[in-house]
């Protein structure tokens, strides 16, 4: 390791470098982190090298063999996470000295959810603008797994998703239930089937598209004897696979009805109860919710429950 001014106390530049290092670790490498941060690869590489010089430690191995943390790098990453979390908490407390309803609220949602009629997201935004005109809502479309990861790492203040996987580190607050139907497309053996209702006897052994993040739709599929032959974590991907005529798939009813090509899909009548997917707002358990997060949750729940 090169000689240089060793770290005695944190400076502003050190905090920035640790933030870059955290992004590198969470992106799985320097190149991906550069894309995520919107900077050149050389800039990220220099920041990591400068941090290693300041600490007098080799934090990671990078090169043709890939990216890997050293044992010291793992500890430095934990410190970087703690530092970022502490700084964010301090920023929120300082904002709270004014009114707590300014700054940026980072929200993650799953694909197709913004158009879900049960959520009524445009109305949520209008009410939030009226109640907190100085608050900016930054909304990102992510997979359920990514939403949970970013809430846990405090990149998001909250997420809105439907999943049967609920880590203990997160709090899941029910918001609404979304109707899902089992669909097939032209070319599938059931597309021309005109039975009034289909049960396990008719469906057992047929291939369907499973959700890779875990969903009540998979439990319903299992009860019908369907076989998870392929997985997807995105509604558009599931839709494309169903449209191939090779697979059955559970899709949000509103999403299919909104498609011009929706008529090409057939919703199969099923024996027993229809499938409703519960959606939740998830927040981090170990920290107190800020005033802006609490307000958003109240507005979200009030409008979705109306």
CATH number at residue 52: 1.10.10.10
Does 3 map to a domain?
Answer: no
Which pLDDT score, from 0 to 100, does residue 43 have?
A: 92
Average pLDDT over residues 103-122: 88
Does 305 map to a domain?
Answer: yes
Domain end residue (candidates: 93, 114, 138):
93
Are 53 and 171 in the same domain? no
Does 2 map to a domain?
Answer: no
Are 33 and 108 in the same domain? no
Which pLDDT score, from 0 to 100, does residue 248 have?
A: 97
Which pLDDT score, from 0 to 100, does residue 88 have?
A: 76
Domain end residue (candidates: 93, 109, 144):
93
Does 256 map to a domain?
Answer: yes
Task: Please give the share of the chain, as a percent, with pLDDT higher than 90.
Answer: 53
Which pLDDT score, from 0 to 100, does residue 4 have?
A: 52
DSSP-derived 3-state class of residue 131: helix
Residue 30 phi/psi, 5° resolution? -70, -40
pLDDT of 216 higher than 90: no
Are 85 and 221 in the same domain? no
Number of domains in the chain: 2
Which pLDDT score, from 0 to 100, does residue 262 have?
A: 56
Are 30 and 113 in the same domain? no
Helix (H) or strand (E) holding 209: strand 207-211
pLDDT of 275 higher than 80: yes
Are 172 and 61 in the same domain? no
Which pLDDT score, from 0 to 100, does residue 220 have?
A: 93
Are 166 and 18 in the same domain? no
Lowest mean pLDDT among 111-115, 170-174, 204-208, 236-240: 111-115
pLDDT tens track for 71-90:
999 999 999 988 887 887 77
Q: Looking at per-residue confidence, does 154 or 92 come out higher?
A: 154
Angle between helices 291-305 and 121-131 (to 10 degrees): 140
Are 61 and 130 in the same domain? no
Average pLDDT over residues 161-189: 91
Which pLDDT score, from 0 to 100, does residue 100 have?
A: 62
Q: What is the largest CA-CA distance in the chain?
A: 78
Are 21 and 135 in the same domain? no
pLDDT of 169 higher than 60: yes
Residue 195 burial (CB < 10 Å; 0-12/13-18/19+)? exposed
Q: Looking at per-residue confidence, does 262 or 223 come out higher?
A: 223
Are 53 and 112 in the same domain? no
Q: Which domain holds residue 89?
A: 12-93
- How far, CA to CA in Å, does 79 sit from each of 75, 284, 304? 6, 19, 39
Are 211 and 254 in the same domain? yes
Which pLDDT score, from 0 to 100, does residue 8 have?
A: 62
Are 146 and 17 in the same domain? no
Cα Rg of the chain (Å, integer): 24
171 closest CA partner among 34, 285, 20, 53: 285
pLDDT of 57 higher than 70: yes
Single pTM value for the model: 0.71
What confidence category does residue 5 fall into, taking pLDDT thresholds of 50, 70 and 90? Answer: low
Average pLDDT over residues 36-54: 90
pLDDT of 36 higher than 90: no
C-alpha triplet 289, 293, 297: angle, nearest 5°? 110
pLDDT of 11 higher than 70: yes
Domain end residue (candidates: 77, 93, 109):
93
The residue with tokens 């913004």 is 114
Which pLDDT score, from 0 to 100, does residue 63 have?
A: 79
Query: What rounded mean pLDDT belongs to the chain?
Result: 88
E strands present in 213-295: 227-232, 248-252, 265-267, 275-284
Does 6 map to a domain?
Answer: no
Are 60 and 196 in the same domain? no
Does 1 map to a domain?
Answer: no
Task: Please give the share of the chain, as a percent, with pLDDT higher than 70.
Answer: 93
Does 5 map to a domain?
Answer: no
Range among 29-38, 96-105, 249-258 with highest mean pLDDT value: 249-258
Does 114 map to a domain?
Answer: yes
Write the CATH number for 218: 3.40.190.290
The half-sphere exposure of 241 on its side-chain side, counting CA atoms within 13 A, is: 22
């Amino acid at each position: 390791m090169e000689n240089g001014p060793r770290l005695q106390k944190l400076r502003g530049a050190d905090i920035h470098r640790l933030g870059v290092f955290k992004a590198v670790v969470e992106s799985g490498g320097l190149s991906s982190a550069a894309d995520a941060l919107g900077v050149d690869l050389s800039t990220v590489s220099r920041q990591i090298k400068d941090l290693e010089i300041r600490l007098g430690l080799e934090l990671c191995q990078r090169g043709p063999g890939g990216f890997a943390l050293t044992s010291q790098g793992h500890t430095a990453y934990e410190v970087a996470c703690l530092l970022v979390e502490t700084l964010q908490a301090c920023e929120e407390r300082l904002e709270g000295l004014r009114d707590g309803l300014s700054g940026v609220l980072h929200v993650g949602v799953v694909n197709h959810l913004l158009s879900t009629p049960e959520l009524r997201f445009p109305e949520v935004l209008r009410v939030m603008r009226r109640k907190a005109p100085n608050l900016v809502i930054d909304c990102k479309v992510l997979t359920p797994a990514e939403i949970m990861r970013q809430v846990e790492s405090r990149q998001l203040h909250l997420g809105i998703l439907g999943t049967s996987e609920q880590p203990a580190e997160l709090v899941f607050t029910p918001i609404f239930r979304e109707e899902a139907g089992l669909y097939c497309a032209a070319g599938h053996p059931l597309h021309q089937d005109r039975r009034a209702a289909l049960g396990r006897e008719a469906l057992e052994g047929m291939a369907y598209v499973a959700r890779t993040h875990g969903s009540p739709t998979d439990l319903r599929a299992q009860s019908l004897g369907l076989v998870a032959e392929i997985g997807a974590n995105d509604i558009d991907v599931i839709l494309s696979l169903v449209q191939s005529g090779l697979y059955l798939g559970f899709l949000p009813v509103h999403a299919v009805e909104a498609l011009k090509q929706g008529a090409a899909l057939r919703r199969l009548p099923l024996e027993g109860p229809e499938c409703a997917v519960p959606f939740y707002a998830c927040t981090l358990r170990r920290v107190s919710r800020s005033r802006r997060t609490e307000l958003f949750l109240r507005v979200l729940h009030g409008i979705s429950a109306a």
